[in-house]
Copies of this chain bind each other. A is one copy, B any other.
């Protein structure tokens, strides 16, 4: 065993970003990976004999998390768990109890078990919301926050509590405001325009679009995303809020056209626009570019890689 190996705990580690993080950190022998997941699903075969330890449990139950901390000395926690998506503002009380309440319990466990570092996955896509005036070209990290979904408000509130726990208990945080990631290991059928569309195409099913398709988003290839994160950890960057995106904006229609050029034509269902969809969100990524050397993958190349992966990996 290498001396000074670090134990990282990935909460929600068998989700989309989680699996990409596993893959990225497995390349570095300095890390032991511990995964906590809600769904009782197995590790991918290729990781079975690798340096990955798996726990199942409910994030909101202190005993489930505590079991990990009793059996392992954790150095860094990656907090990827969210029981909501931006469209689910219909049960705000549950959102608050599970995601905000669950995170406070986690932070208190960190105090008890003397765990000093947490990486929080916030939402670059929802945390800015509607600007007071006109839309900026890009949202920088210190831009005002007026989320129009509960998911975004809860993320913002967790950010504020991370600041509080740093102030009182010296727990270092790193807040990552992710744009719209796409790529390998994405399994949701309800969130993620590029992946959901590519999967529908592979299954010969129509894809659903809300509104006129003029909504603009910042898409980032997930492999870029986890490489950036690994870099930040290696550089020991903490107690900061960092946008992670491409810094480029594309409308839904532009994305669909790019996909069409790769996959050929496909069917689109157009429904009415949704009130929680902010018209335009592109992240200002000058901060991350000032910290690390970062050139995002061209979106068309990212889409192609993702489509090839989908065609190779069958899932329901």
**Which of B153, B161, B167, B275 contacts A275 (CB under 8 A)?**
B167
* A153 to B, closest residue via Cβ: B160
B-side contacts of A160, CB under 8 Å: 145-147, 153, 156-157
A155 to chain B, nearest CB (A): 11
B-side contacts of A89, CB under 8 Å: 164, 168
B-side contacts of A96, CB under 8 Å: 96, 100-101, 104
> Which of A100, A145, A160, A276 has the largest count of B CB atoms less than 10 A from its CB?
A160
B-side contacts of A153, CB under 8 Å: 157, 160-161, 164
* A275 to B, closest residue via Cβ: B168
B-side contacts of A144, CB under 8 Å: 142
B-side contacts of A164, CB under 8 Å: 89, 147-150, 153
A6 within 8 A of B: no
B-side contacts of A138, CB under 8 Å: none
B-side contacts of A161, CB under 8 Å: 92, 150, 153
Q: Copy number in this complex?
A: 2
B-side contacts of A276, CB under 8 Å: 168
CA distance A154 to B159 in the complex (A): 12
A230 within 8 A of B: no
Does A105 contact B93, Cβ atoms closer than 8 Å? Answer: yes
CA distance A32 to B97 in the complex (A): 36
B-side contacts of A100, CB under 8 Å: 96, 100
Interface residues in A241-269 by Cβ distance below 8 A to B read none
A132 within 8 A of B: yes
Interface residues in A91-114 by Cβ distance below 8 A to B read 92-93, 96-97, 100-101, 104-105
B-side contacts of A219, CB under 8 Å: none
CA distance A132 to B101 in the complex (A): 26
**Which of B93, B145, B156, B163 contacts A146 (CB under 8 A)?**
B163
Per-residue B-contact encoding for A125-155, CB less than 8 Å = 1, 0 else: 0000110100000000010111111100100
A-B contact pairs, 21 of them (CB 8 A): A92-B104, A92-B161, A93-B101, A93-B105, A96-B96, A96-B104, A100-B100, A129-B163, A130-B167, A142-B144, A147-B164, A148-B164, A148-B167, A148-B168, A150-B161, A153-B157, A153-B161, A153-B164, A156-B157, A156-B160, A168-B276
The 8 closest A-B pairs by CB, nearest first: A153-B160, A157-B157, A148-B167, A92-B104, A146-B163, A93-B104, A93-B101, A148-B164
